[in-house]
């Protein structure tokens, strides 16, 4: 609770930004991720977290560790582009 008071509402701003990606396939970059990014479809954004689904598996990511959210890039024909991390 003390951390939220010190933040001054920064968590709420990131939460509102993350809500724009609900239902879209995204790449989420985190501070602590071992492979530097997490891919999946954003299912829900809750208080301090994002719920992702990929291949039928559900995963939750803490918003405090998210540095960047990006919609999966596609080419002009709608196919997924290959991404080099």
What integer pLDDT is reported at residue 47 of this predicted model?
85
* Secondary structure (DSSP) of the chain: -HHHHHHTSHHHHHHHHHGGGTTSEEEEEESS-TTSEEEEEEEEEETTEEEEEETTEEEEEEGGGEEEEEEPPB-TTSPBPP---
**pLDDT at residue 4 tops 60:** no
The answer to whether the predicted template modeling score (pTM) of the entire model surpasses 0.75 is: no
For 5-29, the pLDDT digits (tens) are 555 555 678 888 899 999 999 989 8
What integer pLDDT is reported at residue 48 of this predicted model?
85
What integer pLDDT is reported at residue 83 of this predicted model?
64
For 38-68, the pLDDT digits (tens) are 889 999 998 889 999 999 999 999 888 888 8
């Amino acid at each position: 609770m003390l951390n939220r008071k010190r933040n001054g509402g920064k968590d709420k701003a990131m939460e509102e930004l993350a809500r724009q990606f609900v239902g879209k396939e995204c790449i989420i970059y985190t501070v602590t991720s071992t492979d530097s990014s997490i891919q999946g479809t954003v299912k829900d954004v809750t208080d301090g977290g994002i719920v992702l689904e990929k291949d039928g598996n559900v995963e939750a990511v803490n918003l405090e560790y998210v540095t960047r959210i990006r919609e999966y890039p596609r080419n002009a024909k709608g196919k997924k582009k290959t991404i080099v991390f």
